[in-house]
Amino acid sequence: MNMDQVIRTLINDNSEEHQIKAVDLLQPHLNDELVLSALCCACLKTISPRLREHIIASLMPMAEAANLLFKRAAMLSPNALTRQWAFLNLSLMECRTAMNIVMDGLNDRNRQVQKSAALNIGLYQDQQFIASVERYFEINSFGMIAEGVCHLANHIYGKFNARRSTNCSKAPAGNESAPEYGDVYGVDTLWEKAHI
């Protein structure tokens, strides 16, 4: 199987096992920009925690370059889901050089992106950053509590009335299938802007 076929398997195959095997085949070629981009793109696209962890582990030898791509996705992607995954990936990569991007992420218009950006708070000791995080929690504490109460109410209500349900949040659920790859994620445009 040539490199292009392996990359296509990673990006387009729905089998997690095939994708993990593709990651293993691509990992020795991390110095190739196309391979690094494909792995980062797959990490932004996947909803599988197992595949994401496997990709993150394979990217660690090139963490600085991978973090640069995730930072660009967090800043430039028009798609909130891509920005959300980018912040999560920065956190998993333990990136400590994205403080300004994380601060911007705390003010993102999408609540799920804000939450993903907040996952990075333990990586920084900067006083200005800590003050921004404190402001984020002060401003959003009522919304977070209300969202939690709403989900709890839905859970309780669902037990008593299985035929009816309410929807508190329009954010995608963790087990919801991902949209088709491509412009939906803004990844194609993102990689063009990154000149990779």
Is pLDDT of 66 > 80?
A: yes
Per-residue confidence band for 168, with pLDDT thresholds at 50, 70 and 90: very low
pLDDT of residue 100: 81
Q: For the domain with range 3-193, which CATH number is right: 1.50.40, 2.20.110, 1.25.10, 1.10.3470?
A: 1.25.10
Over residues 91-113, mean pLDDT: 86
Asked if 22 contacts 6 with a C-beta cutoff of 8 angstroms, the reply is: yes
